[in-house]
Structure 1
Amino acid sequence: MKKLLIVILIALGLNLSAQNYIEHKIKKGETIESIAKKYLVTPFDIFALNPDAKSDFKPNTILIIPNSKIKNEPFNEESKELIGYKTHKVKRKETLYGLSKKYNVSEDEIKKANRFLYSENLKRGDKIRIPKYKTFINKVSLKNTVRKYKVQPKEGKWRIAYKFGITVKELEALNPNMKEVLQPGDELNVPNIEDKDEKVVEDQYNYYEVLPKEGFYRLKVKTGLTQEELEDLNPGLKESGLKEGMVLKIPASAETVSSLKDLERTRLESKIKNFSTKKLALLLPYRLNRIDLDSVEETKSEIKNNRLLSTVLDFHVGVRMALDSAKQLGISTDLKVFDTQYQPSTTNKILSDYDFSDYDAVIGPIEESSFDRVANSLKRDRVPVIAALNKPKEVYTNVFQTIPEDKLLQKAMIEFIKRDSLKSKVIIIADQAHRSTSNMLKKEFPSAVQIYSEINKKTGKDDHFIYPVRLENMFTAGRTIVFLETDSNPMASSVISLLNSNVNEDIEIVLVTLDKNKAFEGKDIDNNNLSNLKFHYPSVHKDFDEYKSNSFVKAYKKEFGVSPSKYVARGFDITLDVLLRLATADNLYKTSDDLIETEYIQNKFRYNKSLFGGYVNEAVYIVKYDNLQIVEAN
């Protein structure tokens, strides 16, 4: 078939040695993808001229590679040449990762210069060679099958890569100066395929890049889609199989929360191996410009009455305590603190005045637009940015969202109730604003009884109560689970009282909610009733037990005379978790998969890489009221 194609080309007066086509002899270990990438064409281009290659792809076979007449603007390409070595004597606590950063070479380059490091660990006193390079900048012009393409509204890297049948990395290789965030009208180099061969990008679908070592099982966990469903959505996937970097079409409604499996706590303290000093930045709104620090009374008053400042200072104390705990484990930290003043303009000035490219992690800011600015700015350098006290509006690839999504909290609560071994009756009580939540619960518990709050006949508005008669004969001997979904404190108070009046020796009522908001707090809510109803809800954190021995609580009470707030505990937990993860690997990304779950004072962390962005914590608690205490439910 190939010979026939060559004959036809010659008959048409075409010369394979001319600029229209190139001959390539397949080498051992090459793949169709690697060859396509080398010549900046797509596998489709190669198969179009070499149909036999689909079934007969082997070394020494000659392929015809298309070479476009199109010439693009030249761009700078950096190359380097080895010019010698520097001798370095390894000091205590030095690591390959630290040395690679210090000398601006890769760990692999150091290993190549010191072969013994492939089988042995770096030791104090070792004399190793550090390669030195000379950098050259060359002008490169693309002469392959590429053309210019204008980015359309709503298009990002994934959608464009999918459209032209290439990986995101291949798109980036075609466009060395491409921006991280594409804007409509941006011009990109793309494969010069026929319009009819472009894949249709549909708004009802999302487009996902396959990660390294990711198989169909992991995708099923992430998306809820089976292998067969993915293959149906992506023609050609069945033949090619999953490959790193390929872009898949998935429904926009695909479930992105992983399964809530139970994991044993990962004790990172026993896995510490990277003792290089960790470089952290803390960006918080102290707003010191508003405080007269020379006036002790004014400062005290500001701390007492300013809720934001009180929260920030508590979090800061937790961070400092975490640094002390890490130091006892041999982890040193270089911490820089910045006052963002809760102003995006101040945050922008900090970013322009300081270089964060070599930081191991940045914690904060907490103001939404400031956080977005910092995360987006540091994305190119892959500096992790920790959303400690806020949910970011966009989870970029370098963002670590420590607060789990509301959907995950709901899912955790529903799965907890489903694991109930008793055949419990389920009742769903909701106000008019929570009808959709009630209907969702009805789908999860088909036999459940739904009860809604009364509507005022005159005004047509929600009266936020139910008549007691509607609960008559609802409760029989045994356990009844009651979901209460409302934002109304009067409704929550009245329903809780009604439920409590129905509890006796034979009747057990367990009160549950998917969203424990302010409706369940305040003077109108009797905590005795909540304890009597064994009130359960999902939570980002749990309360620590003051009666159990806890060095963190003791240390705080010794210094400040009171128990630590949840913000002190959060500052401690997040910072210690970041430091321990950094101490067990080269960077934060390598210790942030969903098989690692850590837990500290009040918080636990299990990060899952989201489909189209960064890392989201998926570790949640189910807590309950028990004898006027809030404890973790088992």
Structure 2
Amino acid sequence: MGITYKTMKKLLLIIIIAVTCSITAHAQKFKTHKVKQGETIESIAKQYMVTPSDIYALNPDSKKKLETDTVLIIPNSKFKGESLTTETKELVGYDTHKVKRKETLYSLSKEYNIEIDEIKKHNKQLYSENLQKGDKIRIPKYKTIITKVELDNSIKKYKVLPKEGKWRVAYKFGITVDELETLNPNMSAVLQPGDEVNVPNINVEEEKPIEDNYNYYTVLKAEGFYRLKVKLGLTQEQLETLNPNLKETGLVEGMVLKVPENITVGTLNEDAQIVNLTTELKNLKTKRLAVMLPFRLNRVDVDSIPEAKELIKTDRLLSVSLDFHSGVLMALDSAKYLGISTNLKVFDTRNQLSEVSKILDNNDFSGYDAVIGPMLPANFERVAAQLKQDHIPLISPLTKPENLYDNVFQTIPNEENLVKCAIDLVKNDASKTNVVIIADEANTKTSTKLKAEFVTARQIYSKKNKEGKDAYYISSADISDALKSGKNYVFLETANAGFVMNVTNSLNSLNTSRDKEIILITTNKTDAFEYEHVSNVHLSNLKFHYPSIFRVASSDLPSNFVKQYKSKYGVEPNKYAVRGFDLTLDILLRLASEDDLYKASVGGLETEYIENKFRYSKKLFGGYFNEAVYMLQYKDLTIEEVKQ
């Protein structure tokens, strides 16, 4: 077949490019790789023992699309010096196992030394059905194939220092945790001081130390410089100054960036993606959910209805547990309507560590998709310490956990999130505003923090009595002198009801001038603001604003939910019932929208239900915490949400 001029020209161009690449590769000691069908940048990087960012740096077009037969330039590997042994498994057949009484997937996985997921994979019915006595299931048998990768000459052994985990070692040597694990196939899950691991043989001056006066942020999937500017408040130039390698590699998923210490690495309110997960459902296999609550039903005489009713009235833990549990059951009904089936197991912790330990000893939680509770921190800590071994998601429903392990979800936002919400409200007000900060002695720290944010603000502290102790009052003249024409935001930080009465009465009397607008705000709405002698009329006149974990329950609750709840339980739902509903429905929808709860809880995704919303951020060395809070205000003697 003849070759046309155009074809010849195209071939010549390819030859020139290939020769040029070959010469460049030789001069720089690089290699070339022709992409085969099905290969990815990650698989090619592993083959040559380089990082994906190394390949992207030399082949920027590969970020957009990787086509078969594309020729890539591959740099020399840093991981050289000795042979690495990797193990792969090949399926060779099956054993048939007849299930005996009390056998579980967990016990079978231990007996046959195989993962639970592998058993399910070869017995599809186990995705939707429980293991039953007499069932005959297939147990896959594998043979181990050992592959040796011979490397050239520049890997070295590194002795792990105290406080160094995988992330710190990987960052120190300019690689990711995944790459460190590839380099050390038999590395233990948790590094101990003195452990020896394989690391790139780079010069000592190239090692990157973890600096205590900086924070660190892990780049998420598809994050660009604009998104990081919104999230971290840092420009591309600032990030490149702190992380010089960025200029060569660009942003790569999993990359760890050094950022200033004062940067909050969670997502910001304005960056949240509010999502209706009911339109995102794709994983509809039956969910296994456990709930642990302190019912203490061993104290309830079920034969005496009056006694049981009295106990529910007087025992707050029992009452809250029953209300929360009722919300959980309502959520299961709603999820079922959407096509999500749930296998729920409820445990009574009796609010005793011994009972919690008994539950853990007598039950296998390794196959659960998530566990909600226990409710109280000490009991929660006991469960968290054990379930982290199997990386089972554990959700703290109403309290903050003692330790935020990497499998723990803290659903109650931190005080910092509430404070930030209040500060952002004032800062985002485009009108020219005056800020006044009123606080008692116990809230000096908060007053100082607010002053740092609003440098021109006037600070006023409550007066002292003769003994030098806080008297919890200020004069109207003190406040009047601090107010200016236009809009005035007055922060009131106190937990003393008398001080709230004193300040709100004074502000209300001063709120008559046409040229002044007074808005009362606090970063922490304590019970003092609910005191019976604090006037709601005054709070409404002052447009009282405050951040809140919950949206206030009212008659505005979705009528269908209230109607169904009243039909089932005979009363309107309280905040604990609504919390149980919102939290459980959110977990089930997230589980149905992704492979697991971890994948469904990253990237700033925000969900909102009846009274609660959830937007999780992950601690660099820990678990997940909810950042989503509400800003509420008193208006016309009602409470409503302020959209920021």
Whether TM exceeds 0.5 here: the answer is yes
Q: Check 1:228–1:132 CA distance in 2 against 1; reply closer, same or farther (3 A cut).
A: farther
Q: Report the CA distance shift for 1:106/1:476 in structure 2 as closer, same or farther (over 3 A).
A: farther
Q: Paired residue for 1:232?
A: 241
* Shift of residue 445, structure 1, vs aligned partner: 3.3
SS of aligned partner of 2:610: coil
Q: TM-score, normalised by structure 1?
A: 0.77
Q: Distance in 2 between matches of 1:206 and 1:547?
A: 42
- Which of 271, 276, 286 matches 2:285? 276
Give the aligned partner of residue 354 of structure 1: 363
**Which of the residues 313, 318, 321 maps onto 2:322?**
313
**8 A contact 2:480–2:510 mirrored in 1:** no
Assess if the C-alpha contact under 8 Å between 2:50 and 2:76 holds in 1. no
Question: Match for 2:496: what amino acid?
Answer: S
Aligned residue in 1 for 2:458? 449
Any conservation in 2 of the 1:162–1:207 contact (CA below 8 Å)? Answer: no
User: Do the aligned partners of residues 548 and 381 (structure 1) sit closer, same or farther apart at CA in structure 2, a change above 3 Å counting?
Assistant: closer
User: Does residue 550 of the first structure (1) align with residue 559 of the second (2)?
Assistant: yes
1:496 aligns with 2:504: yes
Q: 2:230 touches 2:271 (CA, 8 Å); kept in 1?
A: no
| Aligned residue in 1 for 2:143 | 136
Q: Which moved more, 1:406-415 or 1:317-326?
A: 406-415
Q: Distance in 2 between matches of 1:64 and 1:412?
A: 47
- Equivalent residue in structure 2 for 1:406, among 412, 415, 426: 415
Q: 8 Å contact 2:160–2:196 — kept in the other structure?
A: yes
Q: d(CA) in 2 for partners of 1:289 and 1:261?
A: 48
Q: Structure 2 CA distance, aligned partners of 1:431 and 1:344?
A: 39
Q: Which residue number in structure 2 is paired with residue 104 of structure 1?
A: 121
| Aligned twin of 1:597 | 606
SS at match of 1:161: helix
Deviations 1:547-594 (CA, angstroms, capped at 9, x unpaired): 676122223334444332111100011111222233333333444345
In the alignment, which residue of structure 2 is the partner of 1:80? 90
Equivalent positions of 1:254-265 (< 5 A) are: 254-261=263-270
Report SS of the residue matched to 1:225: coil
The partner residue of 1:470 within 467, 478, 481 is 478
Distance in 2 (CA, whole Å) between partners of 1:527 and 1:64 is 69
The 1:380–1:53 alpha-carbon spacing in structure 2 relative to 1, beyond 3 Å, is: same
SS in 1 for 2:470: coil
Q: Distance in 2 between matches of 1:33 and 1:325?
A: 41
The equivalent of 2:491 in structure 1 is: 483
* Partner of residue 391 from structure 1, selected from 376, 400, 403: 400
Tell me the distance in 1 between the aligned counterparts of 2:344 and 2:123.
25
Alignment of 1:529 with 2:538, yes or no, is yes
Give 5+ residue unaligned stretches, structure 1: 7-22, 85-98, 108-130
Distance change (3 Å), C-alpha of 1:180 and 1:533: farther
Q: 1:333 to 1:486 in 2, by over 3 A?
A: same
1:208-239 per-residue CA deviation (whole Å, 9 max, x = no partner) reads 44333333334334433332222222232211
Deviations 1:253-301 (A, max 9, x none): 3222423128685333344344322221112222334445455454334
Aligned-partner SS, 2:244:
coil
Asked whether the 8 Å contact 1:162–1:248 carries over to 2, the reply is: no
In structure 1, C-alpha distance between the alignment counterparts of 2:260 and 2:87, rounded to whole Å:
38
Question: Would you say 1:158 and 2:193 are equivalent positions?
Answer: no
Conserved 8 A contact 2:79-2:155: no
Query: Are the aligned partners of 1:224 and 1:255 in contact in 2 as well (CA < 8 Å)?
Result: no
2:34 match? 28
Matching of residue 336 in structure 1 with residue 345 in structure 2: yes
Residue 434 of structure 2 is aligned to residue 417 of structure 1: no
Aligned partners of 1:286 and 1:339 also within 8 Å: yes
- The runs of 5 or more residues in structure 2 that have no matched partner are 1-21, 61-69, 95-115, 125-137
Task: Quote the offset at 1:390 in angstroms.
Answer: 1.8
Between the aligned partners of 1:438 and 1:31, the Cα distance in structure 2 is 54
Alignment-mate amino acid for residue 68 of structure 1: G
Deviations 1:90-147 (A, max 9, x none): xxxxxxxxx988742799xxxxxxxxxxxxxxxxxxxxxxx99752235678876555
Distance 2:534 2:618 in 1: 39
d(CA) in 1 for partners of 2:160, 2:117: 37
Question: Does 1:437 find its partner at 2:454?
Answer: no
In structure 2, the residue matched to 1:125 is none
Aligned residue number for residue 571 of structure 2: 562
Q: In 2 relative to 1, CA 36–345 (structure 1 residues): closer, same or farther, beyond 3 Å? A: farther
Residues 549 and 619 of structure 1: CA distance in aligned 2, closer, same or farther (over 3 Å): closer
**Distance in 2 separating the partners of 1:460 and 1:477:** 34
Number of aligned residues: 569
State yes or no: 1:628 paired with 2:637: yes
Q: What is the letter of the counterpart of residue 34 of structure 2? A: K
2:592 alignment partner, one of 578, 583, 586 = 583
Separation in 2 of the partners of 1:32 and 1:556?
A: 52
Superposition deviation, residue 600 in structure 1: 1.8
Contact preservation (8 Å) 2:266, 2:618: no
Query: Under a length normalisation based on structure 2, what TM-score does the superposition of the two structures give?
Result: 0.76
- 1:496 and 1:490 map into 2 onto residues whose CA distance is 10
Deviation at 1:315, TM superposition (A): 0.7
SS of corresponding position for 1:256? coil
Q: Does structure 2 conserve the Cα–Cα contact (< 8 Å) formed by 1:375 and 1:396?
A: yes
CA distance in 2, matches of 1:343, 1:271: 40
Code of the residue aligned with 1:483 in structure 2: it is: F
Which of 51, 65, 68 is 2:81 aligned to?
68
Offset of residue 317 of structure 1: 0.8
| 1:153–1:518 Cα change, 3 Å | farther
Structure 2 CA distance, aligned partners of 1:65 and 1:566?
A: 57
Does the CA-based 8 Å contact 2:488-2:518 persist in structure 1?
Answer: yes
Deviations 1:613-634 (A, max 9, x none): 4433332211122343322234
CA distance in 2, matches of 1:537, 1:60: 57
Question: Take 1:478 and 1:302, find their aligned partners in 2: how far apart are those partners?
Answer: 55
- RMSD between aligned residues: 4.1
Q: 1:33 & 1:274 partners in 2: Cα distance?
A: 26
After superposition, the Cα gap between the structure-2 partners of 1:135 and 1:475, relative to the gap in structure 1 and judged at 3 Å, is: same
The answer to whether the Cα contact below 8 Å between 2:80 and 2:200 also exists between their aligned partners in 1 is no
Cα offset, 1:500, TM superposition: 2.1
Contact 2:81 2:156 in 1 (8 A): no
Report what 1:304 is aligned to. Answer: 313
What's the % identity of the aligned pairs?
A: 51
Distance 2:350 2:599 in 1: 33
Structure 1 pair 203–476 and aligned structure 2 pair: CA distance change class (3 A): closer
Secondary structure, in 3 states, of the residue corresponding to 2:468?
coil
Name the CA distance, whole Å, in 1 between partners of 2:499 and 2:73: 78
1:372–1:161 Cα change, 3 Å:
farther
Counterpart of 2:435 in structure 1 is 426
Q: 1:225 to 1:440 in 2, by over 3 A?
A: same
Q: Which stretch shows the higher mean deviation, 467-476 or 271-280?
A: 467-476
How far apart in 2 are the matches of 1:65 and 1:604?
A: 46
Amino acid of the residue matched to residue 142 of structure 2? T
**Equivalent position of 2:14 in the other structure:** none
Query: What is the CA–CA distance in structure 1 between the aligned matches of 2:441 and 2:144, rounded to whole Å?
Result: 66
1:335 deviation in Å? 0.5
Equivalences for residues 171-210 of structure 1 within 5 A: 171-210=180-219
